[in-house]
Amino acid sequence: MASTSTQTSRHLIDILAPYREPQLRRALSQLANSAIPFALLWAAMLYSIDYGYWITLLLAIPASGFLLRLFMIQHDCGHGSFFKLRMANDMVGGAIGVLTLVPYRYWRKTHAIHHKTSGDLDHRSFGDIDTLTVNEYLALSKLKRLRYRLYRNPFILLILGPAYQLILKHRFPADIPRSWKREWASVHKTNLALLAILILAWQTIGVQRLLMVHLPISLLSGSIGIWLFYIQHQFEDTYWRHHKEWDFIDAGIRGSSHYDLPKILQWFTANIGLHHIHHLSSRIPNYRLQKCCDENEQLRRVTRVTLGQSFKCLLLSLWDEEQGGLVGFRHLKTLGA
């Protein structure tokens, strides 16, 4: 399919523009209805430890939903879309980054790269789930093929991977350049804040109790977050092109799904399922994405993935350039590989 015409691109930009304006009342309301329930659940989990840790773990389920919602606010702050003022975005995003264990400026930088290069086969970099083409995979040694298969294994991708990212990699992201001074400063400031919290807990509730409460919340919300990011781009007819053929509008419309979740899950995920609109204009606040979709019929003519359909996407691991779609490892048998 040919790239989106210049005229169509301009039209899309024009219809998205009115939704880019942040609304202070809605932003503060969303911050309050996310942070207050999270704090109350966190306190309830701490209190419940003495009555049965199973109660604590049960409470971790809704608490992880609210932490995920807070991360979506951090995400919007990183795009400069949650508040009008950059300072407000940076302050709120940085504070939430301590709770989510995700350094704000570091994540903002890598995520911006993802938005600029999503679907570009020649610029696969930070912020993406590693995806190889069929030919690239077949050119690997047996050991490297095994490594890629392990990486794409759902247990590693959605359970061990998020734990590694949150606990270890975000504490010292050795893959980013030393020249990223502000991003490294964000990592160090987040680590110092976490150290201060650990010292405070040591003097008050105890480090063990702190970890018994916050780690289950963080690990569960982290796994859900990676799952959401995976589904938004890893579906059968997604979009990958070499740079000469790559188009930003096409990558947004065709390379990002509309993850059509039940209303309660859409609320907890702050409309991130409307990912195609977000990729077309990341400056639209999450609380205006649904209105944008409802009022523009052409934005509903995209790949729609339901909750039930999304689990099938876990079988997709390679981009077949000849077929123009994502395929699973079983597809290799048809190639005699």
- 308 or 11: whose pLDDT is higher? 308
3-state DSSP assignment of residue 326? strand
Determine the distance from the C-alpha atom of residue 67 to the mean position of all C-alpha atoms in its chain, rounded to a whole number: 13
Q: Where are the domains of the chain?
A: 6-334
Residue 334 has pLDDT above 90, yes or no: no
Using an 8 Å Cβ cutoff, are 229 and 207 in contact?
no
Residue 6 has pLDDT above 80, yes or no: no
CA atoms within 13 A on the CB side of 314: 15
Buried b (16+ CB within 10 A) or exposed e, 108-133: bbbbeebeebbbbbeebebbbbebbe
Using an 8 Å Cβ cutoff, are 80 and 89 in contact?
yes
Using an 8 Å Cβ cutoff, are 232 and 275 in contact?
yes
Residue found by looking up tokens 């400069």 in the block: 80
Whole-number pLDDT of residue 128: 82
What pLDDT, in 10s, does the model give residues 94-142? 999 999 999 999 999 999 999 999 999 999 877 788 999 999 999 999 9
Strand partners, 274: 258
Whole-number pLDDT of residue 14: 85
Q: How many CB atoms lie within 10 A of CB 193?
A: 16
What pLDDT, in 10s, does the model give residues 171-215? 999 989 999 999 999 999 999 999 999 999 999 999 999 999 999
What pLDDT, in 10s, does the model give residues 7-61? 566 678 889 999 999 999 999 999 999 999 999 999 999 999 999 999 999 999 9
pLDDT range class, residue 4, cuts 50, 70, 90: low
Torsion from C-alpha of 113, 116, 119, 120, nearest 10 degrees:
-90
